[in-house]
Amino acid sequence: MQIPRLDVYEEMAKLKGSALIDADKEEIGLRMEYARKWLETYAPDRYRYELQETLPEMAKELTNVQKQFLKSLADKLSSIEWEGELVHGSIHEVVKSDESFTPKDCFQAIYKIFLAKDYGPQVGWFFSALKKDFVVNRLKEATK
C-alpha cells in the first residue's frame, strides 16, 4: 500500500497563489534533496520519523481512554477543512474536551498509530501533509 501524501508541488503552488514555474520546481526539488541528505546523514533520531503504512503493533498498547480520544478526534477531523492551522486547533480542542484526556496520553496515542513511536512532530502540521481520508481512517482503525 502506498501512503496517500499530498503533492508538494501542488501545495507550494497554493501557497504561492499561482502556478509554479520551472525555477520554482527546481528550487523546491533542491531543498527537498538537501533536507533528505541532512536527515539521512546528520539528523538525530528524534527528528527521524517513518510513517507506518499499516497500523503498527504499538496500537495494541492503547488504553481505553486513548481509544476514546482517537474516536473523538476522528469525528472532529472528519468535519473540518483540511488545513494545518485548523487541524492543529481541532486536535487541541479535542484534547481539552474531556478531563480524562491528558495531552501526553493523547499525543502518544497519535504517534503510536502513525509513527510507531511515543513522540513525533507537531501533529496538526504533520496530519495536514497527509490525505484527510487516510488520517481519519487510521484513527478509526486504531479504536477497534
Residue the block writes with cell 508541488:
9
CA distance 53 to 62: 18
Residue 3 placed within a domain:
no
Residue 78 belongs to a domain: yes
Domain total of the chain: 2
DSSP 8-state class, residue 100:
T
Beta-carbon-side half-sphere exposure of residue 55 (alpha carbons within 13 Å): 15
Q: Do 75 and 113 have their domain in common?
A: yes
How far apart are the C-alpha atoms of 80 and 12, rounded to whole Å?
Answer: 21
CA-based angle 79:111:71, to the nearest 5? Answer: 35
Same domain, 40 and 61: no
Express each pLDDT in 58-79 by its tens digit: 999 999 999 999 999 999 999 9
Regarding whether 62 and 22 lie in a shared domain, the answer is: no
Residue 4 in this model has a pLDDT that exceeds 80? no
Q: Mean of the per-residue pLDDT values for the chain?
A: 91
Residues 26 and 56 both lie in one domain: no
Same domain, 56 and 83: yes
Q: At 48, which helix (H) or strand (E)?
A: none
Range of the domain at 30: 8-46
CATH number of the structural domain spanning residue 127: 1.10.10.350
Lowest model confidence (mean pLDDT) among 2-6, 14-18, 114-118, 134-138: 2-6
